[in-house]
Amino acid sequence: MGAAGRRRLLMAGGSTTYATWNASDKSTNVSLSGSDLIATATSGSPTSWWKNVRSDLAITGKTYFEITGSSLVGGKGFAFGIANDTDPINDFWLADTGVDGFMMYNSDGDCYYQNGVVKNMASFTTVTIGIAVNVDDHLLYYRDSGGWRGSDPSTPSGGIDISALSGQNIHAGVSLEKATNVATLNAGASAFAYSVPSGYKSGIYT
């Protein structure tokens, strides 16, 4: 990825590189803009596929980031969550089969993991989603404007079990269903919509 595709901020003692959507790890029908932070689904063949993209940097330790969905039309709009780096990018949607990730749909809160729906959660009241991933304890949490769905990630309990992903490289990921669907990644280079949970680092970065 070129220098324009990464967000770098000068910090005390050096610079920090924040994650973006990966221009080399996306479906053909995904267009990136805004320094590769904005992913837009486009029309064209193959129309049967969802349009997928992963972040360039992997998630480590305890990490918080946000994804905002917009221009959502038709169907379920978009799925968001995490995916490993081996799930084929032109798969039906990321994390649809096998032990390859965890995706949640914005419209009905279905959680897909290991080729099945493991939990049904209430529909979201907003399209800005906060995601907290605890790689060390193999847990995932997410929230919208109504607060955390389930347990608070500040304590290593509750949450969604992602232990089957242990030892794999985990990335932020989205799957866009319809042309014009948009997903914006905030990996910490900009202010978050919600507060970062205690004990978590603010974004995906190196």
Question: Domain holding 169: CATH number?
Answer: 2.60.120.920
Maximal C-alpha separation, the chain: 48
* Cβ atoms 191, 64 nearer than 8 A: no
Is 196 part of any domain?
A: no
Give the whole-angstrom CA distance, residue 206 versus residue 12: 14
Is 155 part of any domain?
A: yes
pTM confidence score: 0.86
Instruction: Give the pLDDT of residue 97.
Output: 57
Is 202 part of any domain?
A: no
Is 58 part of any domain?
A: yes
- Burial (Cβ within 10 Å: 0-12, 13-18, ≥19) of residue 56: buried
Domain count within the chain:
1
Is 45 part of any domain?
A: yes
For residue 109, how many other CB atoms are within 10 A of its CB? 16
Is 78 part of any domain?
A: yes
Per-residue pLDDT tens digits of the chain, which is 206 residues long? 443 445 555 444 568 999 999 999 999 889 999 999 999 998 865 555 688 999 999 999 999 999 998 877 655 567 888 999 888 888 677 776 556 788 877 656 666 665 566 555 555 555 788 999 999 999 999 887 768 877 889 887 788 888 888 899 999 999 888 788 889 999 999 999 999 999 999 999 99
Instruction: Give the pLDDT of residue 12.
Output: 47
- Residue 74 structural domain: 18-189
Element (H, E) at 10: strand 7-11
